[in-house]
Amino acid sequence: MKEKPLPARGILFGGLAVFVAAPALLLATGHDTIKPSADSDKALSLAGALIPALAGMLLIRGIPLHAPRLLPDATDRARLRKQATALVLIAFLWPLALFLVSAAGQQALVRDIWALAKPLVFLVLPLLFLRTRGEPDPFRLTWRPRQAWQWLAPIPAVLVFGWLSVLGPLAPPLPTSEDYPDPVYLAVGATLTFFTANVLEEVFFRGMLQTRLEALFGRWPGILLAALLFAWLHLPTHGQGSLPLTLGAIVAFQGFFGLFTGYLWSRYRNLWAPIAAHTAMNTVPLLLM
């Protein structure tokens, strides 16, 4: 077995430590329930955040037992490092900037630009950095996997995750018409969320960012780092009060979700699978009102 380089091992063990420490510290400090978002008045148990993701990951590992590695080889490591660095900086600096704006008392401004700026930050800007001259980019996204198993194998994990997250015994209560009294507002908001979160976040964090991190550091360091950056994305909008509590909550909630969708993408290389999981989390509860 080829030994991982030092940066990859640091990311692997550091990432694992964060994902173990966050829920452990939440439990140790009596925070066994968390708010899925800052504007939510419904609490979600910590187990309700972790168990669906972990159950889904077990199914991903087992179906099929043996799957080919579908990550292309990087022939130009220097270009790969530049691309990965640019994407990591986008994923880190944009949420940090919004968090600082929110901390300065401009929470309304952050809410107003949160979804509308995503296509620019997570699609247009990355595509500018990923432009290549000469040989084609081996990590260019494909939307139609060629092999049938790539479509069929993810189904059990996505269904089990969706059921546990939305209808399972630990799932939060479904939203009601009192939560969304204006059907037009609900329809517009759900549509905007579908494209800017369910689709666009998976395109950027899994399809663009994680793919290159995996090629650079290996599967699990890439998944862990991308999942942590995905959790970091929610820092400006998912505040829990104090900063330490917010950091622990976004790792336990969004971070573990990022591990699940990251493993979905890494094993099957079918972007529709993490998009379906994201839709189960964000949109299906609205359809069941």
In this structure, what token pair is assigned to residue 279? 């839709």
Looking at residues 53-58, what average pLDDT do you find?
98
pLDDT number for residue 18: 98
Look-up of token digits 């290159």 = 212
Q: For 84-100, how does the pLDDT look when each residue is reduced to its tens digit (9 = 90+)? A: 999 999 999 999 999 99
Q: For 201-248, how does the pLDDT look when each residue is reduced to its tens digit (9 = 90+)? A: 999 999 999 999 999 999 999 999 999 999 999 999 888 878 999 999
pLDDT number for residue 128: 92
State the virtual CA torsion across 84, 231, 16, 59 in degrees, nearest 10.
-100
The residues near 172 (Cβ < 8 Å, ≥ 6 apart) are 36, 42, 43, 44, 48
d(CA 34, CA 25): 13
Res 1 pLDDT > 50: no
pTM: 0.93
Res 2 pLDDT > 80: no
Q: What angle do CA 100, 83, 142 make, to 5 degrees?
A: 110
The residues pairing with 33 across neighbouring beta strands, listed in sequence order, are: 45
Q: Are 159 and 276 in contact (CB under 8 A)?
A: no
pLDDT number for residue 3: 52
Task: Compare 60 and 144 and report the one with higher pLDDT.
Answer: 60
pLDDT number for residue 104: 86
d(CA 279, CA 285): 9
**What is the chain's alpha carbon radius of gyration, rounded to the nearest angstrom?**
19
Res 64 pLDDT > 50: yes
Look-up of token digits 């018409």 = 177
d(CA 76, CA 28): 46
d(CA 110, CA 96): 12
pLDDT number for residue 237: 87
pLDDT number for residue 36: 63
In this structure, what token pair is assigned to residue 257? 């979700």
| Whole-number average pLDDT of the chain | 91
